[in-house]
Structure formats: C-alpha cells, structure tokens
Amino acid sequence: MKGDVIDEAALVMDRRDSVATALEDLETGRTLSDGKRDVSLSDEVPFGHKFALEPIDRGDEIFKYGAVIGRATDDVPSGSWVHTHNCESTRGRGDQQEETG
C-alpha cells in the first residue's frame, strides 16, 4: 500500500499531506501517533473521511496525495474532521484555476 499507516487506523498518502484518511470509524479523544507527532481527535471521524494532522488556518491549502485538494473555509485545529463544513474543494473547478498566457 502506498503511504504510511498510523496506528493501523489512518493513512497518510504523502509526507507533504496536512490530512490523514480514517481506515475505520474513529472516536473523539483517540490519540494517534506517527512517531513524529501525536494527534488527538477532537471530532468523530467516519471511515474514509479526513482529519487534520496539524492546525490549518482559514484560507490555507489542504494537501492530500501530496497535492492541493482544497482550501480551509475556517480555522481547522489539529485532530479536527476535515469535510465540507470547513473545506472547499479546489479540484476540477475552472473558477479556481490560474490563468496562463
């Protein structure tokens, strides 16, 4: 499997990622450690959903797969569930692409 598994419960696809993906339903208060940092979950994170590995400020880009997948619409503390309530997708949006030429 590509990426790094954290405590057999979450997957980080690339070292540049600011989020991890839950490999199972994760409960509030659970602490996960990748050996470099401990992340205590402040929200329940459903299987397949993302949580912040580090604080993400409003307006900051969110990285998954080593690439930008969205932008934070609110401040996102470390351990918070990252979803449509605090992140907007920038992938495949013509209105978000830089003009060239």
Residues 3-37 pLDDT 10s: 899 999 999 999 999 999 999 999 999 999 988 88
Mean per-residue pLDDT, 61-85: 96
Greatest CA separation for the chain? 49
Residues 39-72 pLDDT 10s: 999 999 999 999 999 999 999 999 999 999 999 9
| pLDDT at position 94 over 90 | no
* Residue 50 and residue 64 in contact, taking contact as beta carbons nearer than 8 Å: yes
